[in-house]
Amino acid sequence: MSARRQLLRSSTQLSAALRTSAPKVAARTTPLLVRSSANAARAFSTTSSNGFYALRALQPATLKDVRLYSSKCTYLYYLSYPSHTVINMPALSPTMTQGNIGAWSKKVGDSIAPGDVLVEIETDKAQMDFEFQEEGFIAKILTSPNAKEVAVGQPIAILVDDADDVAAFEDFSVEDAGAAPKEEAAAPAEEKKEESSASKADAPKAEAKSGSSDDRVKASPIAQKIANERKIDLSQVKGSGPGGRIVKEDVENYKPAAAAASKPAAAAKPAAANAPTTAAGPAFTDVPTTNMRRVIASRLLESKTTMPHYYLTSEINMEKINKLREVLNSSANNEYKLSVNDFIIKASGLALKKVPEVNASWQGDFIRQYHNSDISVAVSTPAGLITPIVGSADTKGLSAISKQVKELAGRARENKLQPHEYQGGSFSISNLGMFGIQHFQAIMQPGQSAILAIGSTIKRVVPDETKESGFSAQAVMEVTLSADHRVIDGAVGAQWLQAFKTYMENPLKMLL
């Protein structure tokens, strides 16, 4: 009880601690102890949960300045508003840290039920509908349509159970929902960081000044002065004076090449872009990057700088597949229309089963081998590249693969894919053959260990013993496997490519 009495301080003493928010304030639990005064009421709960509950039984005039304390004194909530739920920016994908707000499907005062679309959100991969899973009434919208770079966890709206409570939130702000304390908490951390940096910067000065000790840096006063002006760490400078003492010339001739080389390449700032101008004004247009484009840039840079790529190229004879495809499509009765890509996906899945070492990824302390041949198919959209997944491709028929790819690609271009439809996958395919590209090398996705680049099919004169001339013009296609050498040795990559080639040049084997 003594701890509780200590909490009954004056309102002025408590004002500095107010505005700490709760994710959800309910109105169904009665506090065991309530004390009220002329201007305020304080309520204590003996519940051990981190959540805290208010009394709706209190009169509105009394509830205005209610302050609630948990029995463990963990949280302090300021309840100037009726019972409500703070709706935060959701993480709609595992890699999402922020997103852009699109159009709101609900407005203040509207009711919402589980499954209703609340707002459109642009994630790092797609434009998605945020389907809310609770019921109530929208009391306040805290972020405007088209808001950019809204952090995951930031309050975006307020939900109440009773429509009569909506009017009370007319002046509600993000700070009332708890965003302000987080920002304020970050300030002391920054101050500590600055103090730490300052103390580190002063360390070389202190060492240089106390040059009388043999275990410290010895430097002349002029050398110390120049080092301080140029922010040079004297411990990194080799002295040429008596007893290894650092003199003026040593500091002036010091080149911090080693220090610069140790800095991560990612920390380097991009070079200033050329900005040509004409008499009519700037001769360029700056296009803002989307979340999706920034994530693509980050992941591909990560792949090229952390995953040791190597490349294997093979030439595939497409004569048999072209003939089989023509026969199957002619008898499809408009039920399906197979593409070359459908055969490639099927052959890739079967080759992964035959050489499972390629169906794997690097996990640092171990290599993870996947049991399913989940093929990520690169699809170009106006917003950028996305890779919907054909799961267990080795077990599906060609017509099923064809229908699934068309359906996924269509929704990908409309930004309507769900996260599970494009996140994951164990192997990727990128096909630029339809653009007339004969050969290219693709960049692997982080989390996978291989990607197959598909070129166009062209006619080429090749040796043919069945012809009198010994040659014939046949359809051939070049494919290039990019592989992670940490996971897939060159010989293993070659075995996979050989298995893929066998299925492609003998397509009836895919049907067995």
pLDDT score, position 125: 66
Instruction: Provide the pLDDT confidence category of residue 39 given band limits of 50, 70 and 90.
Output: very low
For the ranges 209-223, 337-351, 355-369, the lowest mean pLDDT is seen at: 209-223
Q: Does domain 85-177 have CATH number 1.10.760.10?
A: no
pLDDT score, position 59: 39
DSSP secondary structure, 305-354, as one string: HHS-EEEEEEEEE-HHHHHHHHHHHHTSTTS----HHHHHHHHHHHHHHH
For the ranges 266-280, 304-318, 326-340, the lowest mean pLDDT is seen at: 266-280
Residue 334, pLDDT > 50, answer yes
pLDDT score, position 277: 76
Instruction: Provide the pLDDT confidence category of residue 257 given band limits of 50, 70 and 90.
Output: low
Mean pLDDT of the chain: 77
Residue 398, pLDDT > 50, answer yes
pLDDT score, position 317: 95
The residue with greater pLDDT, 248 or 193, is 248
Where are the strands (E) in 363-470, listed by range? 367-369, 375-377, 379-381, 384-386, 389-390, 427-431, 450-463
For the ranges 52-66, 361-375, 428-442, the lowest mean pLDDT is seen at: 52-66
Q: Are strands 76-79 and 41-44 parallel, antiparallel or unpaired?
A: unpaired
Question: Count of alpha carbons within 13 Å of 420, Cβ hemisphere only?
Answer: 1
The residue with greater pLDDT, 466 or 376, is 376
pLDDT score, position 272: 60
Mean pLDDT, rounded, for 42-49: 37
Residue 48, pLDDT > 70, answer no
Query: Residue 251: in which H helix or E strand, if any?
Result: helix 248-252
Nearest to 480 by CA among 302, 350, 230, 309: 309
Residue 497, pLDDT > 90, answer yes
299 CB contacts (<8 Å, ≥6 apart)?
445, 446
- ∠ Cα 466 468 469 (to 5°): 110
Instruction: Provide the pLDDT confidence category of residue 415 given band limits of 50, 70 and 90.
Output: confident
CATH of domain 293-511: 3.30.559.10
The residue with greater pLDDT, 313 or 19, is 313
pTM beyond 0.85, yes or no? no
Nearest to 453 by CA among 474, 468, 475, 438: 438
Q: pLDDT, tens digit, for every residue of 170-228?
A: 888 888 776 544 444 344 444 444 444 444 444 444 444 433 334 467 788 788 888 88
Ramachandran bin of 235, using left for φ above 0, alpha for ψ from -120 to 50, beta for the remaining angles: alpha
pLDDT score, position 58: 40
Residue 27, pLDDT > 50, answer no
CATH class, domain 200-262, is few secondary structures
Instruction: Give CA–CA dist 197/207, Å, rounded.
Output: 16
Torsions phi, psi of 182, nearest 5?
A: -65, -40
- List active site positions: 485, 489
Residue 416, pLDDT > 70, answer yes
Domain ranges of the chain: 2-79, 85-177, 200-262, 293-511
Q: pLDDT, tens digit, for every residue of 57-104?
A: 343 433 334 333 332 332 333 456 888 899 999 887 767 788 889 889
Q: Are strands 427-431 and 389-390 parallel, antiparallel or unpaired?
A: unpaired
The residue with greater pLDDT, 264 or 111, is 111
pLDDT score, position 274: 73
